[in-house]
Amino acid sequence: MSGPDNTNIPLVDYVIEEKTAVLQKRESEGFGFVLRGAKAETPIEEFAPTPAFPALQYLESVDQGGVAWRAGLRTGDFLIEVNGTDVVKVGHRQVVSLIRQGGSRLLMKVVSVSRKSETNLIRKKAPPPPKRAPSTSLTLRSKSMTADLEEIGKTNTGGGGFRANSSLTKQKSLKKTTTTSPPDNA
């Protein structure tokens, strides 16, 4: 199974919950959330939503007991619509503008994304490696690789993601960065 636009991200790894919330505030108060997301003056057409990252703007924090909290919004919710306008690919300033245009009333559609726990996932265990004939011998390099693979297998049995701690993988991972705007308290 693949995600939207054939992104090949398995949907079974995620729990996706869509919520629509109506926020009504008094003039003297805010909506009780901090909005965070990608900056852009125009919609970001090259952004492709995925189950793990369905929109560019999200709630960085929600004040417990505040207007947004009482409406069911939570930290980490992704904004899908603001006052009936699709904001999946919309930059931060435009979303803030839409929120302000609503005055003291705000209609928001959000998506909460969480990963299923490892216990809920059905995964096949990898088959054991083929047995080596006792009459063959391993080279020093093969012995090192075998030991490294055994170590990886040991560290990878506790659940969670793949961790390569061995001398086989000395490449540094590349970190993809996204420019985010300073938080706006709403």
What pLDDT band is residue 141 in, cutting at 50, 70 and 90? low
Residue 167 pLDDT > 90: no
This prediction's pTM: 0.57
Handedness of CA 87, 91, 94, 99 (dihedral sign): positive
pLDDT at 153: 56
Question: DSSP string of 72-122?
Answer: T--TTPEEEEETTEE-TT--HHHHHHHHHHTTTEEEEEEEEEEEPPGGG--
CA distance 51 to 40: 22
Give me the domains of the chain, ranges plus CATH numbers.
4-117+180-185 (2.30.42.10)
**Is the predicted pLDDT of residue 5 greater than 60, yes or no?**
no
Residue 84 has pLDDT above 90, yes or no: yes
Closest to 100 (Cα-Cα) out of 25, 160, 182, 37: 25
Euclidean distance between the first and final Cα of the chain, in Å? 38
| pLDDT at 60 exceeding the cut of 80 | yes
CB 78 within 8 A of CB 57: yes
Entry field: residues in the chain: 186
